[in-house]
Every structure is written in C-alpha cells, then in structure tokens.
Amino acid sequence: MTASTHKLDHIAISVKSHMLLRQLLRENPILEEIMQNARNETEVLVGVRNWILEEIKKNKNTYHFYKREKHGREAFEKLSWKDFAAIRILDYIDNAGREFEDPNLRGELAISNPIHLIWLAVTHGTGGAKPSFFKDMLMLFRQFSGEYKRNTPSKEQVEEWMDRWCSGLDPRIIKLREENKERIIKIIIQKIDKGEITHSKFSFPAGLSQEQKYLKALEWWEDQLFHLKFAVKSPDLLNELLDNSLDPDTMKVLYEAEAKGIPFFVNPYYLSLLHVRVPYFAVGADLAIRYYVIYSQKLVDEYGNIVAWEKEDKVKPGEPNAAGWYLPNDHNIHRRYPEVAILIPDTMGRACGGLCASCQRMYDFQRGNLNFNLDKLKPKESWDEKLDTLLDYFEKDSQLRDILITGGDALMSSDKSLAKILDRVYTMAANKVAANKSKPDGEKHAHILRIRLGSRLPVYLPQRVTPELVKILGDFKKKAAKIGVQQFFMQTHFESPMEVTPEARNAIKLLMSAGWTVTNQHVFITAASRRGHAAKLRKVLNEIGIINYYTFSVKGYMENSFNFATNERAVQEQMEEKVIGKIPEKYYSTIKEFPNNAGAIEKEMAQLMQESGLPFLGTDRNVLNLPGVGKSLTFRTIGITRYGRRILEFELDHTRKHSPMMKQMDKVIIIESKSLSGYLRQLEDIGEETSDYESIWGYSIGETEQRIPIYDYPDYDYKLTNNYTNLKEETSS
C-alpha cells in the first residue's frame, strides 16, 4: 500500500456516506455480520468471497462465465440479473488492492478495494469513500439479494421515449431555423457594411439596397466557401450570432477556451441549427448539437495536458505501433487491424467543418497537427510524391483490402485534391490486382474491396455536396468497380435527429446517386444518451437511406468527462432500446445486398422495415474505441474508486480478425471519468427523470454484438496468403 493510499484510508467518511452505509448493512445482515466479525482486511475479503461463491456455484453456467471458461454473446445472454451482481462482487475481490494509473487524473494511481473500504467505514468510520461509492455498492448488493430487479421497458415505452425527440425535418423546426438563418445573414451583412469582415468573393457592389444585399447573401448561403470563410472563430461573434443568448457562465468558459488556444470554428449553417427561441415542443432537443459547439470547463482545464487516447497514435520512426504494424510515418497512416488502414492526407482534409467538443483527436489539435488554418493546409508540391509513398504501403501489403480516407475530414479536401487522391487510390488498387496475376493461389495478396471516405460535412456543411463532387465520386466508383472494388462507403457522423435537415437529406441523396452507400457513426455523448434519442436518430437516418454503423461511447479522459456517457449506459441502451430494431436473421441476406445498389437503399430499407414491423434497423454496434485494441464492448467491471468511478477491464472484440501481436497485449483497463451518480445527476440537470434509467446500476458486464453481414468483406475468388507484411516479426496465422 502506498503512503498516499494509507493517508486516504484515514479520511473520515461524510454524513451522507454514513447514511448509505447504514442502509447497506440493514438490508444485508450477512454482509453486516461479516464486517462486524472480521478482524482484518483478509478475513473480510474471505468472508464475502465464500458467501458469494456459495451462491454462484449453484449455477454451473454462471460459475464458468465468472471463471472465464465461457464467453461470447450466447453465454452473456444466459446470465441473470443476479448473476451480473455476483460476478462483479467476486471480480472486486479478485482484484482487491490493484493499482491502476489513472489518465483522468494525469497519471495518479487509482486503487480498487471496495470491500476493504466498506470494512474501514464500518469499523473506523474512515476510508474516504464518497456517497457515489456507497450508492453504487448499495445498488450492487440489492441486485445480488434480488431486491433490485430489472424492469425492461416495453416496445411501446421505447417508442414513447423516441417520440420526445424532434427531427430537423419537422416543419416547425424548419421554420425556426429559417428565422435563425435570417438573423445570422443580417448580422453578417452589417459586419460587411462596417468593414469588420471582408472577403473578395463575398462583397456587395455599390448602390445595393438592404433587401438586395439580403437576396445576394441568400445566394451565398448555398456556397460552401461562404460558410468556411465566415465561420465563427471567437466567443463574442458566436454569442452575437446566437442573439446574445449565451449566459455569463458559459461565456466565461468560452473566453478561457480562447485564451488556452482551443480553436473555434462554427460555420453559419451549423450555427443556425441551435435554438435561440426555445420552442415548447422541442425543449432540450438541440442539446446534442449545442454540446458539440459549446466547450465544457473540464475540456478547458485539461487542454494542454491531453494525452493521445489511441496508443497507435504514438509512432516512433522505425518502430512498430501499439498493434505491431510498421508505418511509413507518424501521422498519415493509422492502423490497428490486418484488413484496413486509415489514410490522412496532407491537404485541407486535415481540417474539419467545425471542431466537435468531444473530438477523438483533440490531442492532435492540441499539438497543432490538426487545425483550421485553411490556407496553410493547402497541399504542397511534395504532397504528390508523398502520396505515392503512402499508397505504396497499401499496394505492397498482403492483407489490406479496405482504405478509409479521413482526417480531419475527407470532404474538406478540394475537388481537385480529392480527385487526385482517388485517382492514385485507383492506380494502387489496379496494381494490386495486376501483381496478383503472377502469384500462385495461397500466396496472393488481398486486393482492395472497399473504399471509404470519412466525413461529417454532410451534417456540418451539406452545401459541400455539389454536382461536381458527385461526378468525381460517381466516375471513380464506375472505374474502380471494373477492377474488383465492390464497396464504396461514405462514412458520416450524425449526432442528433435535429441534424437531419432538408439540406442534409438532399446531400445524402446526391451521394447515393453517385453509387456510394452512406453509413453513420454516432458518438454517444451525454445529451445523445437520453432515453430514446439514439433510437430516434436511427429511425430518422433509415428514413433518408442511411445505414447505422457504430454507436461509440466517448473516448478520452477527463477532458471529455462532461460529454461522457458511461459504458453501462451504452449496454443499457443496447439491451433495452436498440433491441426493438433487432433484425431477424432471415433478413440478413437481404440487407447484405444493400451496398450493391446504393441508389435504391432508401426504398429497400423502407420495404424491409414495413415487412418486418421494425421501427428502425439496428445495424450498428454499441462499442468503445479502445486504445490499441480497437472497437469492443466486451468488458467486466473489476473495480471501483473511492469516488464511485468504475474500473472496467476490456477484451478484444472476438468477432473480428486482429493483428497477431494483439495476442501479446494485456487487457485494456478503462477508469470511467465520472461515477454513475454523477452521470445521473447530469441527466437530471438536463431534464431527465432518473427513474427511467434505474436499471443502469446493474449493467456491469458487456459483450460485443455480432457484426451484421452488411459490413462483412466480400469473399475472394482465390486463396489468400496467410502471411503478414509490415508487421513486427513477420508472422503467419
């Protein structure tokens, strides 16, 4: 035990902690007897362990799951509500006294020994455990005793929760946004007239009336460049364009953010989605959007000390990354899995249409690798040569068959830059096919089957999707399909049904007309984790032809704690809400064909939902993007801090292929950045009834869902090599 831990053990618990402790002991006489009779920590741990083990051994399946002799989705779904609690108590004891480096606290050690903390509180009134800790333990033993039961909501209840949330296609919302647009345009006109903002392309000829200027600005509104050039870059302008509706406390945080160097970049279109005049029928409906634009105090406090969440983001020249892959350099290619790698171009694609407050790459903004200086981000002459080198990595790799071009944002690249990148990708893919002709079966490399563009611009700035862009994408798709590329995905990121506007819908239709399938990755921030919100988003997206891909829990440490919805809530949402959109296996063959005819997806999805009676298609998987390991929701809760923050031990997603090096990697420990009590208080602060979330306390185990076949790679008509290239100590599987 460290000196600091010993010191914390002597801190008296609060009155509220005492009250919760009394309740815990009163409800659990066996626990109280063990606590009262134990003379030391060892005796109390042995006593509780023997008590729980006696119960758990009555069910062979549960005991095998606890011992990790059984795992997987099927075994997980056989566990009872009481089993979850029993396994967690035993995991707490098995991991008692373990120390974990806590990145939330800039590397301080977190120690988990909850049974010991209860014993200290009982015998000495010390241990320093907070009410959040005792509340969690109270609910845990209620779950084990059977007093706390899970009341799974009905389909009707879930649909009632969904109905609370408006879509951006609601005529009433459209009207409000027209008012916002008019206000924003008039303020921009005033600033142009006063010379406060200038741009050669967006200026008024002499002699125009105010009405003529307004009509001219309405034309500009349809131009993507207008929104980029007039993006908000300061707190004062942000507040002015929001009709000075931000309160003083919020402005104080934004001023601090500006002083810290956190970029502001909110374009006029996206700003028009925020409520200024809050409608009675949509109170709080824009919060998931608002919390992307308005920075939290925690983010401001941590900026400058943010560390890279993803271990594979840290690459040293000549050394493999955390997943064992050698890469050409430290920032253009990211790779975890054998089949796919990310390409980040040295173009304006390193920027975004706006900065999301919970951005997974805030670390890169902090170090300046990502930014909003659009002029400086224009590609240099050396980029052409560098692009060839980067794509040569894909061409010579034995397993890569999927390239994800992102950033930043892939569509922030100009049409010219994007066309050049796609042209080089085509050449790379063609070269892989040609090289395979001289290789015998069993030695052939994977050729490119899937090409993806990652972009939030259909949401942030749908004006970017122009006929010119659609032609580039369509021509490329036709050409690449002839050499064996079978799937073309535009991977976007709608956060709220309120972002699905007429403009966004039109952009999606244009992308699908080019033959590209549009999928969505949803970040499960606190405001988006409210009951029914994610389900409503899935429904609205399906209705405009978008396929749901992933629902991500928020990455990052304390800087993202404001927007962090706990992993327990992700499991709860998966088990209690998304389940009403669970697709029967008899439809798998149907949806697997969706990407083969992108233009018909909207119609085909509508037919499938009508035939199956599903309100939406739950094709996404709820996951956390883990450092080094990748996407998974396979975890056990093995500890809890004195502050009630749970400690989760994650495993690989066993449903997909990983780098052989991952077998040598330890399980990933995640210490959540807020307690469940803190999360529920935050929900209450934004108008939620916490009783609706009561079952959240019991979700202490997660298991990654099976991948829907729509996302499987097509099969090759030849035998692929088992050898890996670009891997540390080249390995055969």
H-type alpha helices, 97-230: 114-124, 131-145, 155-162, 171-194, 210-221, 224-229
At 466 the pLDDT is 98
Instruction: Write out residues in the chain with pLDDT < 70, as ranges.
Output: 1-6, 311-313, 381, 628, 666, 730-733
For residue 284, say if its preceding peptide bond is cis, omega within 30 degrees of 0.
Answer: no
Backbone angle region of 216, left / alpha / beta, with phi > 0 → left and psi within -120 to 50 → alpha: alpha
The continuous run of DSSP H or E covering 422 comes out as helix 415-436
Closest CA to 457 of 515, 518, 416, 392: 518
At 350 the pLDDT is 82
pLDDT per residue as tens digits for the range 647-696: 999 998 888 888 888 877 768 999 999 999 999 999 999 999 999 999 99
626 DSSP β-pair partners:
630
Give phi and psi for 522, each to the nearest 5: -105, 125
pLDDT per residue as tens digits for the range 616-642: 999 999 999 887 678 999 999 999 999
Q: Enumerate long-range contacts of 238-244, CB under 8 Å, 24 or more apart.
A: 238/264, 238/266, 238/271, 238/293, 240/187, 241/183, 241/184, 241/187, 241/268, 241/271, 242/271, 242/274, 242/276, 243/183, 243/276
Q: Enumerate long-range contacts of 273-280, CB under 8 Å, 24 or more apart.
A: 273/168, 273/177, 273/180, 273/498, 273/499, 273/501, 274/180, 274/242, 275/176, 276/180, 276/183, 276/242, 276/243, 276/245, 277/176, 277/179, 279/172, 279/173, 279/176
State the DSSP string of 567-592.
HHHHHHHHHHTGGGGPPPGGGHHHHH
In this structure, the strands spanning 402-405 and 340-343 are: parallel
At 731 the pLDDT is 47
Question: Within 13 Å and on the Cβ side, how many CA atoms surround 275?
Answer: 18
CA-CA distances (angstroms) from residue 296 to 249, 274, 287, 358?
A: 11, 17, 13, 10
Size (the chain), residues: 733
CA torsion angle 252 254 259 262 (round to 10)? 160
Backbone angle region of 158, left / alpha / beta, with phi > 0 → left and psi within -120 to 50 → alpha: alpha
